[in-house]
């Protein structure tokens, strides 16, 4: 049933969805690249900071633990056996999401896009690719059980829609400088 797939996919991806949003709120200060450039362009840019990265990863990790603690009651309410996050899964999803976002900034700078410029496609899926790859790497058994091909398909289709919606919202309330 599609409903079960969507609920499971969203639950399993929440620790990967939240780090970028937390970074927007908690970010700032020292950029990871220290202002350094490569071939005349910033390596990452001022939009990727140590503080944003650390609070983003910590937020995603803590969210996974929080979801574990309410797993049984939520599973009972929605009538779906929701996945429990292993420690590796929690770390992999949160860290991978931030790494994917940082990787995207690296590619944006190499292609001449300034901080904040949009890169349609990459902007919406960078953190998904990072989260799934790192989770598969550090929590392979967990990943193989939870992220079946149909779940991955739902994630790849739904995430860009969620991402666009939350960023437009963050822009609307003045948290983000651009609506992407």
Binding site for ligand CTP (CB under 6 A): 23-24, 27-28, 45, 47-49, 52-53, 56, 98, 101-102, 105, 108, 115-117, 176
Q: Scanning the structure block, which residue is given the tokens 């079946």?
A: 148
Residue 36: how many other CB atoms lie within 10 Å:
10
**CB closer to ligand CTP out of 83 and 163:** 163
**CB closer to ligand CTP out of 86 and 124:** 124
**CB closer to ligand CTP out of 3 and 179:** 179
Q: 137, 13, 9: which is closest to 63 by C-alpha?
A: 13
Rounded to an integer, what distance in angstroms lies between the CA atom of residue 8 and that of residue 15? 13
Residue 44: how many other CB atoms lie within 10 Å:
22
**CB closer to ligand CTP out of 8 and 53:** 53
Tell the smallest beta-carbon distance from residue 119 to ligand CTP (Å): 8
Tell the smallest beta-carbon distance from residue 55 to ligand CTP (Å): 8
Tell the smallest beta-carbon distance from residue 33 to ligand CTP (Å): 10
Tell the smallest beta-carbon distance from residue 148 to ligand CTP (Å): 29
**CB closer to ligand CTP out of 71 and 106:** 106
> Does residue 27 contact residue 34 with C-beta atoms inside 8 Å?
no
DSSP letters, 12-62, are HHHHHHHHHHHHHHH--SSBTTTT-EETTEESS-TT-BHHHHHHHHHHHHH
């Amino acid at each position: 049933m599609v409903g079960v797939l969507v609920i499971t996919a969203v639950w399993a991806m929440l620790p990967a969805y939240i780090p970028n949003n937390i970074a927007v709120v908690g970010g700032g200060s020292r950029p990871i690249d220290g202002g350094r450039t490569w071939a005349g362009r910033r390596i990452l840019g001022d939009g990727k900071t140590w503080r944003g990265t650390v609070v983003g990863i910590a937020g995603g990790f803590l969210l996974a633990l929080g979801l574990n603690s309410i797993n049984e009651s939520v599973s009972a309410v929605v009538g779906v056996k929701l996945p429990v996050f292993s420690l590796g899964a929690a770390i992999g999803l949160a860290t991978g999401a931030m790494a994917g976002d940082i990787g995207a900034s690296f590619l944006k700078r190499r292609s001449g896009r300034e901080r904040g410029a949009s890169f349609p496609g990459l902007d919406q899926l960078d953190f998904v690719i990072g989260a799934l790859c790192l989770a598969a790497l550090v929590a392979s058994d967990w990943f193989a059980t939870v992220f079946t091909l149909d779940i991955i398909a739902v994630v790849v289709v739904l995430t860009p829609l969620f991402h666009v919606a939350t960023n437009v919202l963050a822009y609307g309330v003045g948290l983000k400088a651009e609506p992407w």
